[in-house]
Structure 1
Amino acid sequence: MTSPDSLKGVYECAIGNFGVPQYGGTMVGSVFYPKSNQKACKSFEDVDVSFKTKPGGIPIFLLADRGDCYFTLKAWNAQNGGAAAILVADDRVEPLITMDTPEEEDARADYLQNITIPSALISKDLGDKIKKELANGEMVSINLDWREALPHPDERVEYELWTNSNDECGPKCQSQLDFVRDFKGAAQILEQKGYTQFTPHYITWYCPEAFILSKQCKSQCINHGRYCAPDPEQDFSRGYDGKDVVVQNLRQACFFKVANESGKPWQWWDYVTDFSIRCPMKDKKYNKECADQVIKSLGVDLKKIDECIGDTEADVDNPILKAEQEAQIGKGSRGDVTILPTLVVNNRQYRGKLDKGAVLKAICSGFEETTEPAICLSRDMQTNECLENNGGCWQDKAANITACRDTFRGRVCECPIVQGVKFTGDGYTHCEASGALRCEINNGGCWKGTKDGRTYSACIILMNARTSWLASVQSANARIPGEALNAVAVATYCKDANTQYSWSFLWVVVLGLAVAGCAGYALYKYRIRRKSLLN
């Protein structure tokens, strides 16, 4: 909160599990609380209210009250009304929860994937304070900040996707399948080049011991009730059972294990994508036979995968699924995994739309600044701030060298290393080549010429700055014998990195040499004449 003074400070909020949070960035806006439709459950067009701003105007953040309709519907109505973001004020005093998408298939799921504005749940106390200031005529300004929403500790991002092989569970299952297909290419590039470490996970639950022999547990669980999943059709008398889903989840987890051991973990994306296309439930191909065909086509060892799966009827633990259940329990800042799908980036749960662009933006914000891979700096991900005015950094246009480095969060001005030559300086106003190879870059700024097919340079690296200009003269004369290039060499000498001479000083040196030469010649003539007189 940046204004008014009574509200200035940093406040926590819970990012919604829909829309597109601006991971790695910020968004400034002014809060608006409508006089009617305060829960945002109706279209604002119906109440003749618009939050759209004119060019140059401050974006509007709609403040809405919790209750009466889905969080997603509130966000959809706010977006259609022109709001840049929506803040939902809680209606009770409680720890902030994650606003999620509705589970019911009849909840107008067609608009869910079209929500693009960011959303956040704020506490009831903060919501009441904002309303009070607005009622008093104060302008409430907020800076939504996602820069530290995901940690960025090093040059590699670790992320995991908690998903499900079920393809008949409604909109959420479809969104997972769409995401895997769309994100596969980017994920494989990041993994193959070592920028990320990805791990897929699968949620299972166990059947209470008292109901292990029940029809429900027998149809939904494997390994004697240890690992269960809901029935895909919510009907035990038809279609596939929950245990079919558990087995396929296990097969996908084992595929990843075997592919990872062979040094090709990114093949998981190929398997999951191909299986969803070739072996869907609707075609009655969601089975081992179809899965095996996909595995063989990818060249992965089928025998090792079957050994990993083991006997699903045995009354024993399965190491893979047991580890998955243990991983569901939150450790540190991650929290428990209870929602499918859930994406975890650098041990922090991602919130927002499961969309290629949104997720890639979140992953890119997890890199330590200046270490982001090229895919994070592509045009569709962010603007290259070095393209305009060189980002305000130092540059040598003649040598095409710049201190501006584009990053996912903006740009940094750092003197570069070019062809093994390190430049030193502040990166903003100057950078200067240093080291033994500095004559290799733009000839060190010295004179350079070509004669009879040979190229000559006045640049020479010297340890003693006091003799650099003289050594340059001598070097030039030694390379071009017989030509009077003393003045040219002196005028275009290569200055030492720590010493700077002006042109006037150089001419003084040249004139001084001339005077010294004349004086020496006069003295010589005087001595010859005096000697002849004495003889």
Structure 2
Amino acid sequence: MGLKIKLFLGFMVLNFCESVMGKFVVEKNSFRVTSPDSLKGTHDSAIGNFGIPQYGGSMAGTVVYPKDNKKGCKSFDDFGISFKSKPGSLPTFVLVDRGDCFFALKVWNVQNAGASAVLVVDDTEEPLITMDTPEEDVKAAKYIQNITIPSALLDKSFGEKLKKVISNGDMVNVNLDWRESVPHPDDRVEYELWTNSNDECGIKCDMLMDFVKDFKGAAQLLERGGYTQFTPHYITWYCPMAFTISKQCKSQCINHGRYCAPDPEQDFSSGYDGKDVVIENLRQLCVFKVANESQTPWVWWDYVTDFQIRCPMKEKKYNKECADSVIKSLGLDSKKIEKCMGDPNADSDNPVLKEEQDAQVGKGTRGDVTILPTLVVNNRQYRGKLAKGAVLKALCSGFEETTEPAVCLSGDVETNECMEKNGGCWEDKASNITACKDTFRGRVCECPVVDGVQFKGDGYSSCVASGPGRCKVNNGGCWHETKGGHTFSACSDKGDGKCVCPPGFKGDGVKSCVDVDECKDKKACQCPECSCKNTWGSYECTCSGDNLYIREHDTCISTTAAEGKSAWTAVWVILIGLAMAAGGAYMVYKYRLRSYMDSEIRAIMAQYMPLDSQNEIPNHVSDDRA
């Protein structure tokens, strides 16, 4: 990496740090010791950024401090240690020391050993900090997502007291309380999600996108019922004045360096740029603003999830064209969105993004937003696993007691999103076929299988029947029409499955096929005596006078000449037949006459002399014998 790029990145980091280091608030829960008497009382503890804090509730347990693997960096199975509670006993809270490995790994190892919660003792005398997850660690990401128990960080001095009491053999009973972790002043919860449209930033991007897809159904249900007020936010920072005209800054920023985002691939020379991310972030903010103006703010969740599915960076579809197709499928006003976005090349502030930068600064009980993703509930930063069940629990703890919606009491957050506008998916109203499927994660747009025929397409704007039998289902999505008892179709089960207009028509085969005028410019009926009449899908040729049209030869012949020729042909046939019959009879007569005369002559001649072919006739003489 060149010196200029290093300096640029350094200034970007410094600038970002200056903008977000103003105020950081550690979210806490109450840690109360109920026994022994020497430690009885309430103390602060910091909620971890992973696992599932029991927002709105509390948990009682007994604290244990292991003799081996005290930092919890190795599997407790290697030491033959189990923390599973016996039936009827309090849950086990395991106390471990800070150091040598990630906070999350300590909690993961303790969870696998059967404990219900983890208490980490700080190794430095300092104000409480938030236990965070390791950045961009692929191996860690595999177990972080599966951490389901809560954790808390205790300050060093109090933690040492706990360890001393436990080592003396005393039973330590405690209560972790999250009921005041989220303010609950009224019957509506206000929450915000700091997110990003970039889908190539690694593990945290993947985690964020999975959460948005999973939580969409619950979020929309709460929003539709008026139980919550949701606001999305996006982090940007500005480029130092000295670098605004640099190649790196121009590729990462819009509005002359005022609003920047890091390069998705960390490569300034290829792929998408940071400014592409800023522009899409801005578009998503404007989608929310336009949807909110029309009293349908929950449509933001549909746009974001659809954009993730349909317009990923890996498929080179992360662009305005793809975004516009999503906007269109959801019925949003694209002109209002474009107007909201403004000019990214203008050397002036963008009102929408300026408001976002101002919102990054902490206000009241909420600290500065420093990481993505960040969830804020009733102006308190959420700590814990970014998962549907955990976040829903935190939201529900933000309602004033007895005002919680039924969804918080029953846990039933399912709703059929396909009922309204078909979920923004493709549909054929005439055949009642739809690509919308309602799932526990919200609706998905997938082309269906109907009567064994698979429809193919993106599920949002198009689905077309494919394969054998496709013409039986809605004519395969092709054009077809009936007129005057004749039906024509552009669908065929043969070939590549495309819609092709039949002979006599032209068009795209899908939306329309228009009759071809074969009579125009003498394309048919080309013989001089012919006259052409166009019909729907075909044509008719006629000849003048008594002439007859022969289509195979495209010619006209006289019907009179044809009849005369036929009559003379019949006469000649009869005459030749009679002549042949007479000749045959004469030959038979001659043969029979000759045979008769030969027989008579032979009989006469036989009276006088024997013939060679006849025996001698004996004379009549007397018998001279005595």
TM-score, normalised to structure 1, is 0.70
Give a deviation string over 1:247-271, Cα, whole Å, max 9, x none. 1111100110111011110100000
What amino acid does structure 2 have at the position aligned with 1:159? Y
Is residue 185 of structure 2 the alignment partner of residue 134 of structure 1?
no
- The answer on whether the counterparts of 2:311 and 2:318 sit within 8 Å (CA) in structure 1 is yes
CA contact (8 A) 2:252 2:262 kept: yes
Counterpart-to-counterpart distance in 2, 1:204 and 1:290: 23
Write the deviation string for residues 178-229 of structure 1: whole angstroms up to 9, x where unpaired.
1111111111111111111000001111112222223332221111111111
Asked if residue 59 in structure 1 is aligned to residue 91 in structure 2, the reply is: yes
**Equivalent of 1:291 in 320, 323, 329:** 323
Corresponding pairs, count: 381
Distance (whole Å) between structure 1 residues aligned to residue 324 and residue 277 of structure 2: 16
Contact 1:255 1:268 in 2 (8 A): yes
Describe the SS at the equivalent of 1:38.
coil
The question of whether the paired residues in 2 share the 8 Å contact of 1:105 and 1:170 is answered with no
Residue 105 of structure 1: how far off its partner (Å): 3.4
- For 1:35 and 1:72, the matched residues in 2 are separated by 21
* Matches of 1:210 and 1:90, distance apart in 2: 42
1:419-434 maps to which residues of 2 (within 5 A)? none
Task: Name structure 1 gaps, 5 residues minimum.
Answer: 382-535
The answer to whether 1:111 aligns with 2:143 is: yes
Counterpart position of 1:262: 294
Tell me the distance in 1 between the aligned counterparts of 2:269 and 2:117. Answer: 45
Q: Which residue of 2 aligns with 1:97?
A: 129
Q: Alignment RMSD, CA only? A: 1.2
Q: Aligned letter for 1:44?
A: F
- Report the CA distance between 1:315 and its aligned residue: 1.2
Alpha-carbon distance in structure 1 between the residues aligned to 2:330 and 2:228 = 22
2:234 paired residue among 199, 202, 218: 202
Of 396, 400, 423 in structure 2, the residue corresponding to residue 364 of structure 1 is: 396
**Aligned partner of 2:248 among 186, 191, 216:** 216
For each residue in 1:284-310, what CA deviation from the matched residue of structure 2 results, as whole angstroms up to 9, or x when unmatched?
A: 111111001100111111011111111
Larger Rg: 2
C-alpha distance in structure 1 between counterparts of 2:368 and 2:313, whole Å: 30
Q: Which amino acid aligns with 2:305?
A: T
Q: Unaligned 5+ residue runs, structure 2?
A: 1-32, 414-626
**TM-score normalised according to structure 2 size:** 0.60
Q: Could you tell me which residue of structure 2 aligns to residue 50 of structure 1?
A: 82
Q: Map Cα deviations across residues 422-465 of structure 1 (whole Å, 9 max, x no partner).
A: xxxxxxxxxxxxxxxxxxxxxxxxxxxxxxxxxxxxxxxxxxxx
| CA distance in structure 2 between the aligned counterparts of 1:75 and 1:196, rounded to whole angstroms | 32
Contact residue 108 and residue 143 of structure 2 kept, 8 A? yes
2:270 to 238, 243, 249: 238
Deviation of residue 63 (structure 1)?
Answer: 1.0
Match of 1:455 in 2: none
Give yes or no for contact 2:215–2:388 (8 Å, CA) kept in 1.
yes
Is it true that 1:120 corresponds to 2:152 in the alignment? Answer: yes
Name the SS for the 1:201 alignment partner: strand
Matches for 1:319-330 after TM superposition, within 5 Å: 319-330=351-362
Q: Report the Cα offset of residue 379 of structure 1.
A: 4.8
**4+ residue runs over 4 A deviation:** none
Q: 1:350 aligns with which of 382, 390, 403?
A: 382
Supply the distance in 2 between the matched residues of 1:90 and 1:217 (Cα, whole angstroms): 41
Shift of 1:104: 2.0
Paired residues for 1:444-463 under 5 Å:
none
Distance 1:344 1:97, change over 3 A: same
Corresponding residue for residue 2 of structure 1: 34
Which residue in the other structure is 1:494 paired with?
none
Matches within 5 A, 1:128-207: 128-207=160-239
CA distance in structure 2 between the partners assigned to 1:326 and 1:335 by the alignment: 13
Structure 1 position 27 matched with structure 2 position 55: no
Give the deviation of 1:126 after TM superposition.
1.3
Distance in 1, Cα, partners of 2:165 & 2:240: 52
In 2, the alpha carbon distance for the partners of 1:97 and 1:248 equals 34
Task: Give the secondary-structure state (helix, strand or coil) at the position aligned to 1:108.
Answer: helix
Contact 2:188 2:228 in 1 (8 A): yes
The code of the aligned residue for 1:86 comes to V
Specify the SS of the correspondent of 2:145.
helix
- What code does the residue aligned with 1:267 have? V
Q: Counterparts of 2:411 and 2:356 in 1: how far apart (Å)?
A: 38
Alignment of 1:343-422 (within 5 A): 343-379=375-411
Q: Is the 8 A contact 1:204 1:228 kept in 2?
A: yes
Which SS does the other structure have where 2:138 is aligned?
coil
Q: Is the 8 A contact 1:259 1:268 kept in 2?
A: yes
Provide Cα deviations, 1:158-189, integer angstroms capped at 9, x if missing partner: 01001111111112111111111111111111
The residue type equivalent to 2:166 in the other structure is L
Partner of 2:569: none
Equivalent residues of 2:197, 2:281 under 8 A apart:
yes
User: Which whole-Å CA distance do the structure 2 matches of 1:286 and 1:19 have between them?
Assistant: 33
In 2, Cα distance between the equivalents of 1:379 and 1:235?
45
Is the Cα–Cα contact under 8 Å of residues 136 and 204 in structure 2 kept in the other structure? no
